[in-house]
């Protein structure tokens, strides 16, 4: 367990010098406008038409709805979270990847058994770089992969018996606190009831055992898996344990939702929160232990980092326990400062507000010299981001720090509200693929529901510019004329790169070497190219340094042999 930190000492003089009124007047609400498009950028409307012109007619019409020229004020409607067209070469993965790979996988002391043929377990084994710093003596199964390794026999005769036996064998070997079971494609088809097996084994073994029906074909992307993971975690884990009284002393208690500790991001966020004196009850689910999640209902605020993968949890916890949530972004130095100020304003304690300001000032004093030195070499150089369900938005803050305009961006598996903001939630049509994913109806818990803020208090915070339970979305923070593409195809990506010739593209492993073969550096924002952390203040310094290396690397000058180089005119 993460021990409650002693409130770290901060300089008294600095604390006293904070002008609380000035801090209270800071505008924490408005979207930050993106940097303007560079001079000479291609005309976007024509570019968008060109992107789809080679598709068959039906596909052309479909893809056109996913590709928009941005306007941050009159945000255009973009189609998202709908089926990927077969054959188009998508970045997307499956429901299982979202459930096991993203949300549940990082939890260190659960034995995650993948029920299916061997591959699904194998590919999700240590490939996402969720780091964890587990206290000596505590269980940590992150380096292990567990699967029922289904063979033809189970496909024909059913795999429930093998699953039950696998759970028993896992229990006998490791005696974990909990076991989670994940269904893969064939499991749904042959009709294995993983939930029944989980219930039976839970009764027999006396530890928490629960299943996820996250077959790869469900939904249209990883996103369905996030939702299924949220539902399962919420139903089976959240609120099943209580925070001990000695951990309930500090009122500034938060959960960090949607932070998976890729490359150590969560470590940096933990460090900043601890410096300010904020107690982190749990993180969903980077560097997380089972009991922390079980006790998460005792926090007083939920911070949502990756909105796409965890918003369900935030909303369900608010409905059941009365814990409000707010969207934060810890990617980017200025963004981190803003996130910390939002937290302080929510709690409203002058001591916390002053502490946060002092920490921000101290941290920025280290960040700014690095940023200024590097910005001279990066300023004005265009960037494209095609990644994930939040990062394509979050990382724009870091590029803004460096003066690099984002000319095109898009998500792999986000929904319309991640693009256009929560305001469009009510107008999103639910198609058959989304309807198949269970939506839990959650009411207040008869015993544990305790609104942390009254409606009047929330209204007052909102009037002061602190937006609760809402996400602004990516497009309001992108510049006019930039191009937004949802679920980008390989063909579209190549054309966009040809058109913009960006200094850098952010994407994932499947695109990385395509982009670099084109002579353009690619920063992987799923696995960080095995670097990081990039969150928070120290992460920002890492990122600035990394981007400087990438866009100014000597090696790109070696691509053309000297004998083939064009003579200067």
Partner 1 sequence: MLNHTPTEIAERSALRINPAKTCQPIGAMYAALGIHRCLPYSHGSQGCCSYHRSHLTRHFKEPVMAASSSFTEGASVFGGQPNLMEGLKTVFTTYDPDVVAVHTTCLSETIGDDIPQIVGEAKRQDIIPEGKYVIHANTPSYVGSHVVGFSNMCTAMATYFAQEVKPARRRHTDATQINIVPGFVDPSDMRELRRLAEATGFKVTMFPDTSGVMDAPQTGKHIFYPDGGTTVDELKNLGRGVATMALGWWASRDAAIQVEKKAYVPREILDLPIGIAATDRFMQILKFRGGVITPDLERERGQLVDLMVDTQQHFHGKKVAIFGDPDHVLALTEYVRDLGMIPVHVLTGTPGKRFTSEAERILGPKAASSNIKSEGDLFTLHQLIKNEPVDLLLGNTYGKYIAQAQDIPFVRVGWPILDRVGHSLIPTLGYAGAVRLLTKMTDALLDRRDRDAPDHQFELVL
Active site residues: 94, 97, 128, 226
CB closer to partner 1 out of 150 and 525: 150
Instruction: Give, as one character, the DSSP assignment of residue 567.
Output: P
CB closer to partner 1 out of 171 and 534: 171
Distance in Å from the first CA to the final CA of the chain: 66
CB closer to partner 1 out of 97 and 278: 97
Judged by CB under 8 A, the chain residues 424 through 483 that form the site for partner 1 are: 432-433, 436
Q: Which span sits near partner 1 by CB under 8 A: 123-131, 201-209, 252-260, 344-352?
A: 123-131
Least Cβ distance, residue 191 to partner 1 (angstroms): 11
Considering CB under 8 A, how many residues would be counted as binding partner 1?
Answer: 90
CB closer to partner 1 out of 46 and 127: 127
Member of 2, 102, 154, 282 binding partner 1 (CB under 8 A) = 154
Cα separation, 94 vs 101, in Å, equals 10
Specify burial of residue 191 (Cβ count, 10 A radius: 0-12, 13-18, 19+).
exposed
Least Cβ distance, residue 57 to partner 1 (angstroms): 10
Q: Which span sits near partner 1 by CB under 8 A: 95-103, 257-265, 361-369, 546-554?
A: 95-103
252: preceding bond cis by omega (within 30 degrees)? no
Residue 281 · residue 296 · CB < 8 Å? yes
Least Cβ distance, residue 184 to partner 1 (angstroms): 7
336 — phi, psi (to 5°)? Answer: -65, -45
Continuous segment of H or E residues that includes residue 20 = helix 20-25
CB closer to partner 1 out of 89 and 365: 89
CB closer to partner 1 out of 216 and 476: 216
Cα separation, 128 vs 286, in Å, equals 11
Nearest to residue 264, comparing CAs of 508, 529, 531?
531
Q: Which span sits near partner 1 by CB under 8 A: 333-341, 458-466, 484-492, 532-540?
A: 484-492
How open is the CA angle 481-486-487, to the nearest 5 degrees? 145
Least Cβ distance, residue 82 to partner 1 (angstroms): 10
Least Cβ distance, residue 86 to partner 1 (angstroms): 3
**What are the tokens at 272?**
């900043």
Q: Which span sits near partner 1 by CB under 8 A: 111-119, 301-309, 499-507, 539-547?
A: 111-119
Cα separation, 416 vs 27, in Å, equals 26
Q: One symbol per residue from 204 to 223: x for binding partner 1 (CB under 8 A), - otherwise; what is it?
A: -----------xxxxxxxx-
Nearest to residue 382, comparing CAs of 503, 516, 228, 562?
503
Q: One symbol per residue from 163 to 202: x for binding partner 1 (CB under 8 A), - otherwise; what is it?
A: x-xx-xxx-xxx---------xxx-xxx------------
CB closer to partner 1 out of 480 and 490: 490
Nearest to residue 128, comparing CAs of 110, 146, 95, 103?
103
Cα separation, 474 vs 477, in Å, equals 5
Q: Give the list of residues 6+ apart from residue 559 with CB closer than 8 angstroms, or none.
A: 519
CB closer to partner 1 out of 92 and 271: 92
**What are the tokens at 303?**
């911070």
Q: Which span sits near partner 1 by CB under 8 A: 85-93, 205-213, 226-234, 354-362?
A: 85-93
Member of 80, 102, 113, 475 binding partner 1 (CB under 8 A) = 113
Cα separation, 536 vs 538, in Å, equals 6
Judged by CB under 8 A, the chain residues 124 through 153 that form the site for partner 1 are: 124-125, 127, 139-141, 143-152
Least Cβ distance, residue 562 to partner 1 (angstroms): 14
Least Cβ distance, residue 498 to partner 1 (angstroms): 10
CB closer to partner 1 out of 222 and 396: 222
Least Cβ distance, residue 250 to partner 1 (angstroms): 32
Least Cβ distance, residue 241 to partner 1 (angstroms): 23
**What are the tokens at 365?**
């004093």
Least Cβ distance, residue 407 to partner 1 (angstroms): 19
CA distances from 559 to 504, 554, 555 (A): 16, 10, 7
Judged by CB under 8 A, the chain residues 45 through 84 that form the site for partner 1 are: 54-56, 59, 83-84
Cα separation, 92 vs 96, in Å, equals 12
Alpha helices in 256-306 (DSSP H): 265-276, 290-294
Q: One symbol per residue from 504 to 543: x for binding partner 1 (CB under 8 A), - otherwise; what is it?
A: ----xxx-xxxxxxxx------------------------
Q: Sort strands 504-507 and 522-524 into parallel, antiparallel or unpaired.
A: parallel
**What are the tokens at 292?**
């922390």
Over its C-alpha atoms, the chain yields an Rg (Å, rounded) of 24
Q: Where are the beta strands (DSSP E) in 298-404?
A: 301-304, 325-327, 383-386
Judged by CB under 8 A, the chain residues 283 through 322 that form the site for partner 1 are: none
533: preceding bond cis by omega (within 30 degrees)? yes
Q: Give the list of residues 6+ apart from residue 291 with CB closer than 8 angstroms, or none.
A: 1, 177, 241
Name the one residue in this structure whose structure tokens are 């913009």: 500
CB closer to partner 1 out of 161 and 448: 161
Residue 309 · residue 103 · CB < 8 Å? yes
Q: One symbol per residue from 7 to 46: x for binding partner 1 (CB under 8 A), - otherwise; what is it?
A: ----------------------------------------
């Amino acid at each position: 367990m993460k021990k409650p930190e002693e409130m770290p000492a901060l300089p008294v003089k600095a604390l006293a010098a904070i002008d609380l009124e000035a801090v209270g007047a800071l505008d924490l609400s408005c979207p930050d406008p993106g940097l303007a498009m560079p001079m000479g950028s291609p005309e976007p409307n024509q570019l968008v038409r060109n992107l789809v012109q080679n598709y068959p007619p039906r596909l052309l019409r479909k893809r056109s709805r996913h590709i928009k020229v941005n306007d941050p004020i009159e945000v255009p409607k973009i189609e998202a979270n709908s089926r990927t067209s077969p054959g188009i070469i998508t970045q997307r993965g499956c429901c299982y990847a979202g459930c096991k790979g993203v949300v549940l996988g990082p939890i260190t002391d659960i034995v995650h058994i993948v029920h299916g043929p061997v591959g699904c377990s194998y590919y999700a084994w240590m490939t996402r770089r969720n780091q964890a710093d587990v206290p000596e003596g505590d269980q940590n199964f992150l380096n292990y992969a567990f699967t029922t390794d289904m063979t033809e026999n189970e496909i024909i005769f059913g795999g429930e018996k093998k699953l039950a036996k696998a759970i028993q064998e896992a229990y006998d070997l490791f005696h974990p606190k909990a076991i989670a079971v994940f269904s893969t494609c064939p499991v749904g088809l042959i009709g294995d009831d993983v939930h029944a097996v989980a219930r039976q084994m839970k009764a027999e073994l006396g530890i928490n055992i629960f299943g996820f029906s996250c077959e790869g074909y469900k939904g249209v992307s990883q996103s369905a898996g996030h939702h299924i993971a949220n539902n399962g975690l919420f139903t089976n884990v959240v609120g099943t344990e209580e925070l001990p009284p000695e951990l309930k002393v500090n009122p500034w208690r938060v959960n960090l939702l949607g932070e998976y500790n890729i490359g150590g991001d969560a470590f940096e966020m933990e460090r900043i929160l601890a410096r300010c004196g904020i107690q982190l009850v749990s993180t969903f689910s980077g560097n997380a232990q089972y009991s922390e999640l079980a006790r998460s209902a005792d926090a007083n605020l939920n911070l949502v980092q990756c909105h796409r993968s965890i918003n369900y949890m935030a909303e369900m916890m608010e409905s059941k326990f009365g814990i409000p949530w707010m969207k934060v972004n810890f990617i980017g130095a200025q963004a981190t400062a803003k996130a910390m100020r939002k937290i302080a304003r929510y709690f409203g304690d002058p001591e916390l507000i002053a502490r946060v300001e002092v920490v921000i000032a101290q941290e920025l004093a280290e960040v700014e010299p690095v940023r200024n030195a590097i910005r001279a070499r990066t300023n004005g150089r265009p960037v494209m981001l095609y990644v994930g369900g939040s990062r394509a938005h979050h990382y724009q803050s870091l590029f803004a720090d460096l003066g690099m305009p984002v000319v095109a961006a898009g998500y792999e598996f986000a929904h319309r509200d991640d693009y256009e903001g929560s305001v469009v939630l009510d107008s999103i049509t639910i198609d058959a693929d989304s309807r198949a994913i269970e939506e839990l109806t959650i009411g207040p818990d008869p015993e544990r529901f305790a609104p942390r803020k009254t409606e009047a208090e929330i209204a007052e915070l909102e009037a002061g510019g602190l937006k609760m339970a809402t996400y602004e979305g990516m497009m309001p923070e992108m510049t006019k004329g930039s191009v937004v593409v949802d679920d980008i195809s390989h063909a579209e990506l190549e054309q966009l790169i040809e058109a913009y010739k960006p200094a850098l593209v952010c994407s994932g492993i499947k695109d990385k070497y395509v982009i670099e073969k084109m002579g353009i550096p690619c920063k992987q924002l799923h696995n960080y190219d095995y670097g990081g952390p990039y969150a928070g203040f120290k992460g920002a310094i890492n990122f600035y340094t990394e981007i400087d290396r990438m866009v100014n690397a000597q090696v790109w000058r070696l691509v053309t042999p000297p004998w083939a180089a064009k003579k200067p005119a």
